[in-house]
Structure 1
């Protein structure tokens, strides 16, 4: 049985390996998604000790939340499952605008509750910051919902350090979600130290850098034009990244695990990271991610990885 850890100072206790579900019903993000496969991977996760599911309104849109609602209801153990969802995207006709207004956030929570077929959301994030709403006012609306028992913890995602400070003026922010991985460590400049100081749990997204940090790529891999546009895959940078990943491959080989397991395990050595939420498209990937929990890195290995990816 996996030991559950506490997310920051919340009352949420989870398996440190969660499940990012943008490929569960996220038809607008991935072409030709198989909903049955999505359902299967969530059920596999729940059956094997994963109890933290991360979704959002915009995955689908709406469809990811609906599928998770159905699966959790089917599993019949809602109280043991921690569901995180996010909102900020508002459709005005065919145009998507970002809205953090208290009225919109309250409406979003009500609609998410219906799609998820539940009467509370464990962790609710403002998915992206808008230009106009004072962030402490937006968080104030979520605090009201928390007091009413509709949400249990308050999160923000993709906020700048200034926006995070404004949002946390009254100390109500529990969780921050942002991009962080070995190839993009910018969060270490200000966001991670602030999170640590204020006991905010930092949940990294893109922990495996769009698959590059899984170790499945090599210099002969055919990259699509779209991939080449991503910074970590751009010419010159990609080749340097492959060299760095070879060092991790050596550590992984000695431990009898895969590159991804070592990478994910390294994140847990960061003070404010309690949980990671790697995504998956197939059930076997979910099971594979769980092998991370078996990895123990030595102090030398932690320092070596830090140095290689400095």
Structure 2
């Protein structure tokens, strides 16, 4: 599988496993992670908030047997104070919280150094310099190799691009949700890589697109009302026999792409995703598919 290189030299597989959907059954999760390794996936994405710490524990336990031989890269996220018992959480991007949280994440993951640590959200009102200082300190102390942010707020993204050494930005990005396109040139100029989550738009860009549309999207999707969305999906299905392959190829066409983050609830679902990733489309086919969908833009958090 294609590997993409971050500024720090970390190599991440162009498809990464989003571990949030693994669940809390460790044996079942192991079948999915084992399949991911077999398929050439080396980037595994988790967060301290997922299942209130349990996800990190499961991911760390399962990946332990692979870490010395397969170039495994683990990314986790921070920024939420949470209570495992009450399931309550609140936002806290403070230096103190970030510096303390890494210790708990390292313990749960059973590692001494985390490859990639990302701020799990963020607003323009945050004390962003304090957050940046925390991440820089963790790099200096050798507790993390690199850091990034998970955000779809252009003003937050701009600030971190200009004032920090982030290496990744995780954002919702697909053929249907093409809002990040307006930010790609600046992101690429800073040699930052995108971790694209939601590549199949909650199932709209899969073989079950019509079923998903009628079950979950009666109120539309982003700037699409139901009729717009129905017409768009129908046209895409008419001209392409594999919508997942189309959105994967669309994402692969951008230089700023680091990894497409795909979830999986079973090994077979993961196999299908990799097959879709490996199915090649021509540049002409990708451009035609892009012309079918709307041009979306971010409308909030611009300044």
Name the TM-score, length of structure 2 as normaliser. 0.87
C-alpha distance 133-42 of structure 1, shift in aligned 2 (>3 A) = same
- Does the CA contact (< 8 Å) of 1:48 and 1:287 recur in 2? yes
Question: In the aligned structure 2, how far is the partner of 1:267 from the partner of 1:46?
Answer: 22
Deviation at 1:196, TM superposition (A): 1.5
Deviation at 1:268, TM superposition (A): 0.8
* 2:197 match: 205
- Does the CA contact (< 8 Å) of 2:246 and 2:289 recur in 1? no
* 2:10 match: 12
Question: In the aligned structure 1, how far is the partner of 2:70 from the partner of 2:139?
Answer: 17
Q: Which of 67, 72, 77 is residue 81 of structure 1 equivalent to?
A: 72
* 2:82 match: 91
- Does the CA contact (< 8 Å) of 1:138 and 1:167 recur in 2? no
Name the TM-score, length of structure 1 as normaliser. 0.85
C-alpha distance 73-240 of structure 1, shift in aligned 2 (>3 A) = same
Note the 1:159-198 alignment, pairs <5 A. Answer: 160-189=153-182, 191-198=183-190
Q: Which of 66, 69, 74 is residue 60 of structure 2 equivalent to?
A: 69
Question: In the aligned structure 2, how far is the partner of 1:106 from the partner of 1:78?
Answer: 29
* 2:116 match: 123
Matched, 1:143 2:142: no
Question: In the aligned structure 1, how far is the partner of 2:127 from the partner of 2:278?
Answer: 43
Question: In the aligned structure 1, how far is the partner of 2:35 from the partner of 2:132?
Answer: 34
- Does the CA contact (< 8 Å) of 1:84 and 1:122 recur in 2? yes
Matched, 1:40 2:11: no
Question: In the aligned structure 2, how far is the partner of 1:271 from the partner of 1:40?
Answer: 32
Q: Which whole-Å deviations, capped at 9, do the CAs of 1:198-225 have from their partners, x for residues lacking one?
A: 111111111110111113132697515x
Unaligned runs of 5+ in 1: 26-32, 253-257
Question: In the aligned structure 2, how far is the partner of 1:78 from the partner of 1:59?
Answer: 27
Question: Secondary structure of 1:276's match?
Answer: strand
C-alpha distance 85-240 of structure 1, shift in aligned 2 (>3 A) = same
- Does the CA contact (< 8 Å) of 1:129 and 1:159 recur in 2? no
Question: In the aligned structure 2, how far is the partner of 1:79 from the partner of 1:117?
Answer: 17
Matched, 1:271 2:255: yes
Deviation at 1:171, TM superposition (A): 3.8
* 2:298 match: none
Question: In the aligned structure 2, how far is the partner of 1:138 from the partner of 1:220?
Answer: 39
Which stretch of structure 1 is more off in the superposition, 71-80 or 156-165? 71-80
- Does the CA contact (< 8 Å) of 1:21 and 1:279 recur in 2? yes
* 2:281 match: 297
* 2:207 match: 215
Q: Which whole-Å deviations, capped at 9, do the CAs of 1:263-298 have from their partners, x for residues lacking one?
A: 112101022113101111001111222224433322
* 1:255 match: none
Deviation at 1:175, TM superposition (A): 0.6
* 1:231 match: 221
Number of matched pairs: 291
Question: In the aligned structure 2, how far is the partner of 1:107 from the partner of 1:75?
Answer: 27
C-alpha distance 104-287 of structure 1, shift in aligned 2 (>3 A) = same
Question: In the aligned structure 1, how far is the partner of 2:3 from the partner of 2:179?
Answer: 29
Question: In the aligned structure 1, how far is the partner of 2:55 from the partner of 2:17?
Answer: 12
Deviation at 1:260, TM superposition (A): 1.0
Matched, 1:133 2:126: yes
Unaligned runs of 5+ in 2: 295-303
Matched, 1:157 2:155: no
Tell me which stretches of 4 or more aligned residues in structure 1 moved more than 4 Å: 219-222
C-alpha distance 284-79 of structure 1, shift in aligned 2 (>3 A) = closer
Q: Which whole-Å deviations, capped at 9, do the CAs of 1:121-178 have from their partners, x for residues lacking one?
A: 1111000115653212201210111122211111101152222232234441111111
